[in-house]
Amino acid sequence: MKFLIYAGIGIATLWLQLTLAPLVALFGMKANLLLLTVLVIGLRWSDPWYFLYAAVAGLAADVFSHGVLGIYGTSYFLVALLARLTGVSVYENSLLFGLVEVFGLSLAEGLISLSLLELLDSTMPWWAWLLATAIPNAAYNSLWSPLAFFALGRLQNLMKTAET
């Protein structure tokens, strides 16, 4: 059952990433909805299927982005581990804390991705990419996080009512 839920979340998020995110881009920044679902699920759910979902969502982001297969797959998986550790150790169900968690974990994903890309191309301007893309995208993702937390809460309530 959980596998089908993750598949549905992944397909819906990928569809929204490809159709809705470009329409609501702010100053050229698109919300990374795949990363956002990985973070929100990791902070709120404890499930072994989650890590597989994170890796597959990262590979989907690789396929539809820069073309270096495995960069996002690896970084999403590693940030999923961080999100699970953060969700287990520091759980605070408040809007402000959720924004801070998503910002920090989005920034961590950006740092991991940039580090992996720098390993492949040492001439890449790491600090310029960090300041120009990773930090603004982390801030933009954190602004979208309340909507993702709300949607996940509604999904949890639907699952609870379906079980009873």
Taking only the tens place, the pLDDT of each residue in 21-76 is 889 888 888 889 999 999 999 988 888 889 999 999 999 999 988 767 889 999 99
Residue 103: domain span: 2-163
Place of tokens 């940039």: 114
**Sign of CA pseudo-dihedral 71, 74, 78, 84:** positive
Confidence of residue 92 (pLDDT cuts 50, 70, 90): low
pLDDT exceeds 70 at position 91: no
pLDDT of 3 = 83
Give me the number of domains the chain comprises. Answer: 1
pLDDT of 34 = 94
CATH of the domain at 21: 1.10.1760
Residue 34 near residue 14, CB atoms below 8 Å: yes
